[in-house]
A and B are shown apart, each in its own frame.
Chain A
């Protein structure tokens, strides 16, 4: 008979937890059938860490990430982000919250094709509303400088390589100085050289006080993380450098 044995893993925390995820579950009901995407997931993300969510395709990695950023809502459980619980809010409220608290980096970059690199970064500043307009240009320049492509500020995305576009996306994510950066397969669409360069940019951010959470199916990239969890079929099956409830099959 198969069963699941919960095993709490108490690793030595490197720093205090920024995000607490408690008993998170997500399911979809379609044509009378329930599909379980996440099954009672509990873990924490240490502040200032490079945190990996690893697992094969269909394990629920992106779903976890979407719920951490408010792009999706859990069926049960809760997420405590900083000192606030991320409750179900309106789309607009969540959008405003994301603008100042989370920087998102997508697998396919998602830059606006009609705006230059600098304008894509300034767009985040315009939407976040943190800085006054007169400060946007300088801030955008600094963010692009941080990721090493300030000289490409006037280029449109169509005139940039994949790696360069992803760096612009990272700069955009940093624009409003959020405490957390979230990246879903940030190197999944890049060649190995570009992937390496982009990952190094991300990996360098915790030293500047950022918490970086990234999803990857690549074990090698996952191994670079200071803390990580491994998902399989919607459950955490391994964890390192963080507090998590691991649920192994018996």
Chain B
């Protein structure tokens, strides 16, 4: 008894016969299924990691920044109703000297009396030991900024000048952005160590965990009151949300799912194109099978078996790749944000979904072409067998000018629409590829443009923030006295809560020179005006706000409704925020409950705007303010742009992965068409060779056919690609961050090159196959 029936063997042989095509199709399915699996695995693991890390890390619900808080106040604060846990520690912003330009990075040092037993935000020591005097524990991810090991020394800035500290341990702070991603370092010291190194000997941060977060605002008000009663100057107070709120990740995974679905759609396209070609090649065989007794159903089952085998191969490989990729991607994201993944588990549902998609999509895609191809009657199939086919040859005379075109080129061009339906399908695949490529190009260009324009908005060369609010006039004078500093403006922002989400509440001077007022509707602030805001277009759109409406916001213990007096163009944004609200900076300080006349954030405009001069000015400001014990954070526009660009790297990675799939689909679509063309034109090739055509000339016929199809696809994609890009950027804006649509017409050139490269790659094997065909082979019976 045969192990395999002939029909089953035929289904298998249809796969093994054209190995390259099979490999490309399986690769396409593998990438589609692998991408979906990786995303589902990563999202499941990441959400679990968020929840796991949240449960592992005791976080504060309320945080108060103050001057000189005595540890003895902890007991009294703990007695306030609704307070569950109190921790008083020191948060010391400084700079860490590194070898890479500009020679330092901003750093935050946390000092506690007992790092090993922290009531909140426990320090996970991954290596080494806790620090004593002259020592520091560095965050593991700080090594992305400058390499170091336990035992090395690091140098930080202090009021006493540079201080060298010995690294005795490495830490993992759950929920913190990786230093490589944020360009911000973190370290831990003992209270005594910090006092000896910097002179800061009193804690300045109070962190509170409450029993009932719904009463958080009232509790915060009580805490502030208690501190003030005890003579503590309160500088800032905030109600913290869930440090491990996975909501921003939702947006990222939405975009990734959109890309994964695109990849699957392209995979389906690949299958349709391949099966259409396969069935078209086998018209005669279909006729023969029907002639010797096969029903249409049996013929159909045979081809669907072929598709199922391809799908199974791609699915198995895709799931394996997806599991590995998903795990690696989870680790990558978890390293970015420092999460504990916990035990890595895969939900069986992920596998089920991937199997269903990996088998279902190819079969669903193949149904129509198989149904269409097997509908042919025996008579039609047999009469079409062995005939080179094609439409009617044109009998129109060729204009004299066009007669100069070489005949080889005409042979290629004339064949483009030899089989109209096949050509239409190939054009569809190529156009899809080129369209997706243009959409990806436009998206990355829009992101780059957004990032570069983000800081043009502010018109400053530098931003300066001090660790604590200082007398504004004094600081302004200090800054203006620094060489190359021309203009100084107050500028700060903070996250305020609204019913639609977190708003970036930004304070500017009443009449700013550096902040570019891009007013779209309404008016700017009047001098001394309070209780008003201007909203950016994003916030206006998401919250449905217009001039004259009220915008209720809460910050710390305070809640207030601001009147919207205008709408501005302001691109500032980040994951999890819904837009920008501008307010007079005195209004912002009052809302933050800050003592009058103090400021901690400034925009600086320089006289010499060259990067070298700006960097030197930044260093001078650093040195000056550090020498006064202010521990400033000084950043140039170039540093800010680079940091923002780094944060989009994940998106770029995903987009380029889709670009690779897109190219694959285009190549295979055209490859299928040209392969069929070579098969059907064997006699024509034989005639060309017998007339003296070299292999290169024969190959050129098919290469030109491929280029012609690619050229038409490019033109169609120019029309379709821009709306597709706009749609994708709108999706990113809706779920991640509003980056705005930007298009560079010059991008059409790399897109054209991409399309022609695809055409050439797809033409190589068919063209070589045609070139190597011997005349005798074309005369043999089929």
A residues with CB within 8 A of B: 66, 69, 71-72, 91-92, 95-96, 98-100, 103-104, 106, 108-115, 119-120, 122-124, 126-128, 133-134, 136-137, 162, 165, 172-173, 176, 189
Contact = CB atoms under 8 A, between A and B. Distances in A.
Contacts of A123: 6-7, 10, 289, 292
9 contacts: A95-B378, A96-B293, A96-B295, A99-B293, A108-B781, A110-B285, A113-B285, A123-B7, A123-B10
Interface string B266-298: 000000000000000000110111111111111
B13 interface: yes
Contacts of A100: 293
B376 to A, nearest CB: 10
Contacts of B528: none
Nearest to A175: B292
Task: Tell me which of A95, A98, A108, A165 has the highest count of chain B C-beta atoms within 10 A of its own C-beta.
Answer: A95
B781 A92 contact: no
Given A127-B294, A137-B1, 15 more contacts: A71-B291, A95-B294, A98-B292, A99-B292, A100-B293, A104-B291, A108-B386, A112-B10, A112-B285, A112-B288, A113-B285, A114-B14, A124-B293, A126-B7, A133-B5
Contacts of A92: 295-297
Interface string B7-20: 10110011001000
A133 B386 CA distance: 33
B288 A122 contact: no
The CB with the most chain A CB atoms within 10 A, among B291, B297, B781, is that of B291
A128 B293 contact: yes
Contacts of B290: 91, 95
B2 A91 contact: no
Contacts of A91: 290, 295-296, 377-378
B410 to A, nearest CB: 29
Provide the main secondary structure of the chain A interface.
helix
B385 interface: yes
A71 B379 contact: yes
Contact of A95 (B6, B295, B379): B295
A228 to B, nearest CB: 24
A127 B377 contact: no
Given A71-B382, A92-B297, A134 B781 contact: no
Given A106-B288, A110-B288, A127-B289, A120 B296 contact: no
A111 B17 CA distance: 16
Nearest to A97: B293
Interface residues of B, number: 32
Contacts of A104: 291-292
Given A96-B293, A99-B292, A127-B292, A122 B6 contact: yes
A-B pairs, top 10 by smallest CB distance, nearest first, are A99-B293, A114-B13, A123-B6, A127-B293, A92-B295, A110-B288, A134-B1, A119-B6, A127-B294, A71-B378
Contacts of B5: 122, 126, 133
A176 B385 contact: no
Contacts of B292: 98-99, 103-104, 123-124, 127, 172-173
A206 to B, nearest CB: 21
A178 to B, nearest CB: 10
Among the interface residues A69, A71, A176, which one has the most CB atoms of the partner chain B within 10 A?
A71
Interface string B365-386: 0000000000001110010011
Nearest to B385: A108
B308 to A, nearest CB: 17
Contacts of B14: 114
Given A108-B386, A112-B10, A126-B5, A176 B781 contact: no
A162 B379 CA distance: 23
Contacts of B296: 91-92, 95
Contact of A108 (B9, B291, B379, B782): B782
Given A91-B377, A92-B295, A122 B289 contact: no
Contacts of A189: 781
- Most A CB contacts (10 A, CB to CB) among B288, B293, B377 go to B293
B379 A119 contact: no
B780 to A, nearest CB: 9
A91 B386 CA distance: 23
A95 B17 CA distance: 27
Interface string B84-102: 0000000000000000000
A115 B6 contact: yes
Contacts of B295: 91-92, 95-96
Contacts of A127: 7, 289, 292-294, 298
Contact of B13 (A99, A110, A115, A126): A115
A135 to B, nearest CB: 9
B781 A162 contact: yes
Contacts of B378: 71, 91, 95
Nearest to B297: A92
Given A91-B377, A95-B293, A136 B2 contact: yes
Nearest to B288: A110
Nearest to B295: A92
Interface in B289-329: 289-298
A136 B285 CA distance: 21
Contacts of A99: 292-294
Contact of A98 (B7, B287, B293, B379): B293
B291 A110 contact: yes
Contact of A72 (B7, B298, B379): B379
A24 to B, nearest CB: 16
Contact of A126 (B6, B285, B386): B6
B2 A120 contact: no
A92 B382 CA distance: 17
B15 to A, nearest CB: 10
Contacts of A109: 781
B777 to A, nearest CB: 11
B6 to A, nearest CB: 4
Given A96-B295, A134-B1, A120 B379 contact: no
A67 B382 CA distance: 14
Contacts of B287: 110
A114 to B, nearest CB: 3
A178 B252 CA distance: 66
A157 B292 CA distance: 17
B1 A66 contact: no
A7 B377 CA distance: 36
Contacts of A126: 5-7
A126 B585 CA distance: 86
Contacts of A112: 6, 10, 285, 288-289
Interface in B7-59: 7, 9-10, 13-14, 17
A66 B379 contact: yes
A122 B14 CA distance: 18
B9 A176 contact: no
A56 to B, nearest CB: 19
Contact of A120 (B6, B382, B781): B6
A122 B2 contact: yes
Contacts of B2: 119, 122, 133, 136-137
A1 B688 CA distance: 51
Contacts of A72: 379
Nearest to A134: B1
Contacts of B1: 133-134, 136-137
A218 to B, nearest CB: 18
Interface in B339-376: none
Nearest to B374: A91
Contacts of B382: 71, 106, 110
B62 to A, nearest CB: 74
Given A108-B782, A123-B7, A136-B2, A98 B377 contact: no
A115 B9 contact: yes
Contacts of A66: 379
